[in-house]
Structure 1
């Protein structure tokens, strides 16, 4: 990202901490902000005064009920609609785009099919989609882009198997076309950041996300920061072995791996190999729910694999919550009992219950995650992930 990056500047670290707390948890009373940040009333007054004067924070109207109860303090909030951000999710088949508010609420969405994987042509398409969004939202503050694969410095796509890309400076290409600050990251990282700031992981110290779809994604937030490793975006699911002695043999992934057992392409491949028919993932789930023997077996095996993965994450990362997300988590609804049995079978009998939440994420939801990357750059004043 270039030096043109917009940000909440100039803000002191204390002022920024107050603003972020209100953004992610507000509206909040002054006493609640002081408690959350361990500030004295005097320090909070000193920090909030310039934020209110600049219009970054606003005082909500005091209700008649609060006046009657002797609490005239006005809660502080952010004007969520004061700024908008574009987010894009690039798959092998299409580009999905959204516009969000400062609090990541989606206010516009669109998608465009891909008939090419050429980086220059896709950058042109992102430019056209951004221009289309600007007709209704002329003052976009930034662009976030999520891609499957490994990304360096939130700017360059190092490798993307779905697009066949290597060393593509996507942020620079799109920024040059749009004139807006651009941040690029793996789609899984973007989704996790969105959930940590505005969703299931908000306020948690240890939060894990497992995504199921075309591939397997995993991420862990510790102390409010995403744990980064060298293998990010390189397909951890292919080597995450669940059943070393069995499981389906599929074109992708080792036998018995999370990829072979759980991904949508693998599940569809298994049914097609057994029946000779092309069926969609949704059709397989519906058939399993209605008792079809073959589909029930495939989905049941996938559900046991999912429960095993969840238990392994809980055993070793000890998160306060695990979020299951992605287009493939519908199997948890169809075979939730099997998932739960597998979790129990792989946990100590005295272990605490696994705090598990599921969220079916379509591609526009992934694009929303990318928009949150742009929000973070503005709010934090840095492009460091």
Structure 2
């Protein structure tokens, strides 16, 4: 069992390689603040677990002295799984340790019994892993969703795809796949992924705003995402933007009674409902609104411009309170719609960029829960997996 000091040192070594690798051991020591001797002692422990490897080519930047062998993450030895439980669609992914997506899949569903949905997700995850992970060892599964999440116990409550029940996802998924399972709220997981290997890898503080069927906000400082006293930080659904005069004339009042809350001005539901009333789209889908805009429909373009300005207003409010170094936005009609980012940025002085992961953000974020655990405690996290190689016979992944 690694001591706390050794565990912290191993984490520092692994993160130095994540941010700067491939890099020689001497440079790892400089970056991490550890002694070269400590780095040398830790390397074989991390290499044995399939986390680090030496490259065949010497350091190209070296001009004198004994050749220095660069060290990099071993992306060929391990993989992680992710599952995002959406209201009508679940998104699945397999990632390597650098956060690169090896494979992805989507699963359409209505509102089945929780166990039936979990069975289907595990079955699809097993097929996806078998097809894309190759010989890599699976380190765990991350599961995310919108709603009240207790990351400590692995429970998710009130999720529509689970019939509104409170479900112990850690136990349910763990029983089926025989791997460690980590559970968190989806926007917090997205912020963690962005800080690990997205656009925020080199910033000290991050604001992250997700705008979709549901709205969510997360704030990260020094790599740690704030959860709040009751794990409920980031509820911005009815954030008042103070611009009722700018609310569309045909906007319906929100369930909270306001016409100028964040949901009423920027949520996918209200936006697509307006698009349908205007005859822009035949069904409430934000991707169809974006498609209509790019096909020259001025009504669709105006809708998306208004929505982007409302998102910018929300960013301005949140940035004014927390003052993050960088703000990342994600969600359909934003992440892949660069033409509307100028409208969003007009309302704030904070640097705002779209998520680095595009339409795959949910799958990447889910799997990142496992990678985050590995980078925080590489000796403990991977040691746990090595001690749990046998899985239930009905496991679709390890059986």
Place the TM-score, normalised by the shorter chain, in its bin: 0.7 to 0.9
The correspondence for 1:307, drawn from 301, 309, 312, is 312
The correspondence for 1:340, drawn from 339, 345, 348, is 345
Q: Offset at 1:30?
A: 2.8
TM-score scaled to structure 2, two decimals? 0.81
Secondary structure class of the residue paired with 2:175: helix
TM-score scaled to structure 1, two decimals? 0.84
Deviations 1:303-330 (A, max 9, x none): 2212212222322211111111122315
Q: Offset at 1:274?
A: 3.7
Which residues of structure 1 form unaligned runs of 5+?
Answer: 1-5, 344-352
Alignment of 1:3-14 (within 5 A): 11-14=6-9
CA distance in 2 between partners of 1:71 and 1:333 (Å): 48
Establish whether residue 194 from structure 1 lines up as the match of residue 193 from structure 2: yes
Q: Specify whether residues 287 and 277 from structure 1 end up closer, same or farther in structure 2 by C-alpha distance, changes over 3 A only.
A: closer
Secondary structure class of the residue paired with 2:346: helix
Secondary structure class of the residue paired with 1:12: helix
CA distance in 1 between partners of 2:115 and 2:79 (Å): 25
Q: Specify whether residues 118 and 287 from structure 1 end up closer, same or farther in structure 2 by C-alpha distance, changes over 3 A only.
A: same
Number of corresponding residues: 369
Establish whether residue 35 from structure 1 lines up as the match of residue 30 from structure 2: yes
Q: 2:142 corresponds to which residue? A: 144
Whether the 8 Å CA contact 1:126–1:174 is kept in 2: the answer is no
Secondary structure class of the residue paired with 1:32: helix
Q: Offset at 1:215?
A: 1.9
The correspondence for 1:114, drawn from 95, 109, 112, is 109
Q: 2:390 corresponds to which residue? A: none
Q: 1:85 corresponds to which residue? A: 80
Q: 1:171 corresponds to which residue? A: 170
Whether the 8 Å CA contact 2:304–2:333 is kept in 1: the answer is no
Q: Specify whether residues 110 and 243 from structure 1 end up closer, same or farther in structure 2 by C-alpha distance, changes over 3 A only.
A: same
Establish whether residue 270 from structure 1 lines up as the match of residue 269 from structure 2: no
Whether the 8 Å CA contact 1:190–1:372 is kept in 2: the answer is yes
CA distance in 1 between partners of 2:4 and 2:359 (Å): 32
Q: Offset at 1:19?
A: 2.1
CA distance in 2 between partners of 1:35 and 1:375 (Å): 24
Deviations 1:212-245 (A, max 9, x none): 1112111111121000125756882332111353
Q: Specify whether residues 306 and 221 from structure 1 end up closer, same or farther in structure 2 by C-alpha distance, changes over 3 A only.
A: same
Q: 1:59 corresponds to which residue? A: 54
Q: 1:255 corresponds to which residue? A: 259
Deviations 1:253-306 (A, max 9, x none): 542111111122211111223448635423433544566453344323212212
CA distance in 1 between partners of 2:280 and 2:287 (Å): 17
Establish whether residue 356 from structure 1 lines up as the match of residue 352 from structure 2: yes
Q: Specify whether residues 329 and 172 from structure 1 end up closer, same or farther in structure 2 by C-alpha distance, changes over 3 A only.
A: same
125-134 or 184-193, which deviates more: 125-134
Deviations 1:11-30 (A, max 9, x none): 53212321232134422233
Aligned Cα root-mean-square deviation (Å):
3.2
Deviations 1:117-147 (A, max 9, x none): 3111012112212332343447422111111
Whether the 8 Å CA contact 1:285–1:334 is kept in 2: the answer is no
Q: Specify whether residues 189 and 117 from structure 1 end up closer, same or farther in structure 2 by C-alpha distance, changes over 3 A only.
A: farther
CA distance in 2 between partners of 1:52 and 1:290 (Å): 52
Q: 1:133 corresponds to which residue? A: 128
Deviations 1:160-210 (A, max 9, x none): 245432321111011112211111111112211111111111132111111
Q: Specify whether residues 261 and 71 from structure 1 end up closer, same or farther in structure 2 by C-alpha distance, changes over 3 A only.
A: farther
